[in-house]
Amino acid sequence: MNTLMRWIGIAVVIFIAAPLVIVVPMSFSTAASLQFPPPGYSWGYYQQFFSDPSWLRPAWNSIYIATMNTLLTMALVVPATFALVRHKFWGKSFANLMMMMPMAVPHIVMAVGYYSYFGELKLVHSKLGVILAHSCLSVPITFLVLSANLKGFDLTLERAARSLGATPGQVFRHITLPILKPGLAISALFAFIQSFDETVVAIFISGRNAETLPRKMFDSIREEADPVIAVISTLLFAIVFIGLLTPSLIKLVRRMTGSPQPK
Amino acid sequence: MSAYLRLAGVNKTFGSFTALGHIDLEVEKGEFVTFLGPSGSGKTTTLMVIAGFEQATKGEITVADQSLAHLAPQERNIGIVFQNYALFPHKTAAENVYFPLQMRKVGKKEGMKKAEEMLELVGLAGFAHRLPKELSGGQQQRVALARALVFEPDLLLLDEPLGALDKNLREQMQIEIKRIQKRLGVTTIFVTHDQTEAMSMSDRIVVFSNGAIEQAAAPLDIYHRPATRFVADFIGESNLLEATITDAASGKAQSPVLGEVTCGAEGMPPLTDGQAVTLLIRPEHLKLSREPKEGRQNAQMVIETIVNYGDNAVVIGHAGDQQIRVRVPGADVVILKEGDSCHFSWTADAVFVLDK
């Protein structure tokens, strides 16, 4: 029974991980189009990606939009989460529902909505438009991660700090914020990835001026199946992987060098 | 009056629910006072009102004749040890203890030195740079105590601090807390629902029930001269028997179970003839025998259960409808059997009378 479960588990992991295994070798391919297994290996497409402005511009667009999206989302979600987790007020469950709404509504519906609504506001084909739309889409996941963290936060810690002489502001700065830091970092990371990865809304409203990387990839695969796409996929995967692994790596290095824990 | 902490007519209601009725209490400087009572009796609410986390609906609290009414928790200079210790998980033991000093603008170098001295006092020298999660429950408890004491608070409040510890550690910490409290002379309020803890640690016990103080007195007074039936029942084991006073002058009472009883314990309330009262006899003041004992008052019971504790045992029996508990030395218990009929006896000075 146990061995059977283990093999099923391994099979599922292989099935899920297969796209990654295929994409990474293809990025080093010498073939003129996407082809697996690759006929030969080279860095050619990496060079192409890093030297071609038609790829680099959307890459910078994506980084800029995702960064702005993260800042805006956090500015909205952090206070909202504190209010929704810690306080009781009239209409709270409705507010909770509204926070989760963008997750329930299909992206394509949101995209069509933004397309016509932002058209009126002259926000289509602008970075600001994409940032605003992405922030809305990033709210649910950011809120979920952060509220789970905040619910697990022991309020007696704040009481203890008050009794020890800290004002509410000092409690937030010295106790609440540092303890919630990992949760804040992870929810910000999710907001960033959500925007960086988002395709549907970007296709509808980003236009030429605010073209994001996923949109450019989509256009490219439709037109020519350029293996640069595999390069970008590999780079994105590597970045996210490193991002998720960093905390564990830091811990590991600390343990190995025996240096003291952070303050 | 030299009361240091004074609660005058403190009342606390949550909507229509009265958490605290009308609390009057005075605590001397340096005194170790325990709030004892079942959960929901108001002891923790009283503590939270003193700490400033709850506002009293009515009444006044003063420390050294200064009212606390308009002071926020951080302005009250009160050290609190919480039930779950509430150590800051991202700070080391020393940084936790330094925190209240940091808030009082004590420099890092001087403050950390003081923090380490405090940790030494609570027996944690050498653990200063550990994070809370790297410490055992008892050690975390000591850090919490050091943190609550390092800024020389006017009051130390302990909210069921030993609840999470196992029995041996608990007893060790009881002694330790008492030692540190004596050494620093800090006025202390200790909240617990554990009566043995209250007995062994306190200068004075305040018994709470239903949001009111039932009695505030020294541990042995509470034990031997309880003010109410609730206190007699809650503190220690007791036999409580209905009776009517027949002759107040000689302390004679008539009990349906025991027959005529002479009551002669110290410090009884004044009695009047015909008064309905409750008699209190502690289980350790009763003796069991096959035959009635000469020179003692006797009654009969049937043994129902014997609960053995090793060094002693509690024999539970019935006399009529009344349950009788007798504490006997462990060695005596071997000759007793469940279902046996026997005599139990007492002397007049073991019978305390409670106003009904």
- Does B84 sit within 8 Å of A154, measured CB to CB? yes
CA distance A163 to chain B (A): 5
From chain B, pick out residues whose CB is under 8 angstroms from the CB of A179. Answer: 88-90
**Residue B77 binned pLDDT confidence (cut-offs 50, 70, 90):** very high
Other CB atoms within 10 Å distance of the CB of residue A219: 14
Instruction: List the single best residue of A88, A154, A162, A164 to mutate versus B (max B Cβ within 10 A).
Output: A164
Distances (CA, A) of B311 to A86, B128, B328: 52, 42, 9
Q: How many whole angstroms separate alpha carbon B104 and alpha carbon A1?
A: 62
pLDDT at position A1? 64
Sheet holding B312-319, edge to edge: B287-289, B341-346, B297-308, B312-319, B322-329
The answer to whether residues B113 and B51 belong to one domain is yes
Domain spanning A57-212, CATH architecture? Orthogonal Bundle (1.10)
CATH for B348? 2.40.50.140
- Does B103 sit within 8 Å of A166, measured CB to CB? yes
The answer to whether residues B327 and B350 belong to one domain is yes
* B206: containing domain: 5-230
> Domain end: B182, B211, B230, which one?
B230
What percent of chain B shows pLDDT beyond 70? Answer: 98
CA distance A84 to chain B (A): 22
Do A213 and A65 touch, CB atoms closer than 8 A?
no
Q: How many domains does chain B have?
A: 2
For B194-246, write each residue's pLDDT tens digit: 888 899 899 999 999 999 999 999 999 999 999 999 999 999 889 999 999 99
> Could you tell me which of B143, B98, B136 has the C-alpha nearest to residue B119?
B143
- Does B86 sit within 8 Å of A160, measured CB to CB? yes
The answer to whether residues B169 and B291 belong to one domain is no
Q: Which of B72, B79, B86 has its CB closest to that of A154?
A: B86
Three-state DSSP class for residue B241: strand
Query: Which residues lie below 8 Å from residue B128, measured CB to CB, with a gap of 6+?
Result: B92, B93, B94, B115, B116, B119
Q: How many whole angstroms separate alpha carbon B313 and alpha carbon B237?
A: 13
The answer to whether residues B190 and B243 belong to one domain is no
Three-state DSSP class for residue B79: strand
Alpha-carbon dihedral sign for residues B276, B303, B347, B216: negative
Three-state DSSP class for residue A194: helix
- What does pLDDT average to over chain B? 90
Q: What angle do CA B301, B307, B309 make, to 5 degrees?
A: 135
Q: How many residues does chain B have?
A: 356
CA distance A257 to chain B (A): 17
> Domain end: B230, B265, B291, which one?
B230
Question: How do the domains of chain A map onto residue ranges?
Answer: 57-212, 219-263
Q: Which residue numbers of A have CB closer than 8 Å to B's CBs?
A: 154, 156-157, 159-167, 170, 174-175, 178-179, 260-263
CA distance B142 to chain A (A): 15
The answer to whether residues B32 and B94 belong to one domain is yes
Cis status, amide bond into A37, omega within 30 of 0: yes
Distances (CA, A) of B202 to A175, B36, B79, B320, B336: 34, 10, 18, 38, 37
pLDDT at position A237? 84
Tokens of B99: 């925190």
For B282-337, write each residue's pLDDT tens digit: 999 999 888 888 889 899 899 998 888 888 889 999 988 889 999 988 777 677 78
The answer to whether residues B211 and B253 belong to one domain is no
> Domain end: B230, B255, B271, which one?
B230
Instruction: List the single best residue of A153, A163, A181 to mutate versus B (max B Cβ within 10 A).
Output: A163
Q: How many whole angstroms separate alpha carbon B124 and alpha carbon B111?
A: 17
- Does B72 sit within 8 Å of A164, measured CB to CB? no
- For every one of its 263 residues, what pLDDT tens digit does chain A have, with 9 covering 90 and above? 688 999 999 999 988 888 888 888 888 888 887 777 888 888 888 998 899 898 899 999 999 999 999 999 999 999 999 999 999 999 999 999 999 999 899 989 999 999 999 888 888 888 999 999 999 999 999 999 999 999 999 999 999 999 999 999 999 999 999 999 989 998 998 899 899 889 899 998 888 888 898 898 888 888 877 888 889 888 888 887 887 787 778 778 777 765 554 43
Mean pLDDT, residues B94-107: 95
The answer to whether residues B196 and B282 belong to one domain is no
The answer to whether residues B123 and B255 belong to one domain is no
CATH for B169? 3.40.50.300
Distances (CA, A) of B323 to B202, B319, B332, B333, B341: 31, 6, 20, 19, 14
Q: Locate tokens 């060790």: which residue?
A: B172
pLDDT at position A262? 46
- Does B92 sit within 8 Å of A261, measured CB to CB? yes
The answer to whether residues B149 and B175 belong to one domain is yes
CA A134 to centroid of chain Cα atoms = 11
Other CB atoms within 10 Å distance of the CB of residue B16: 5
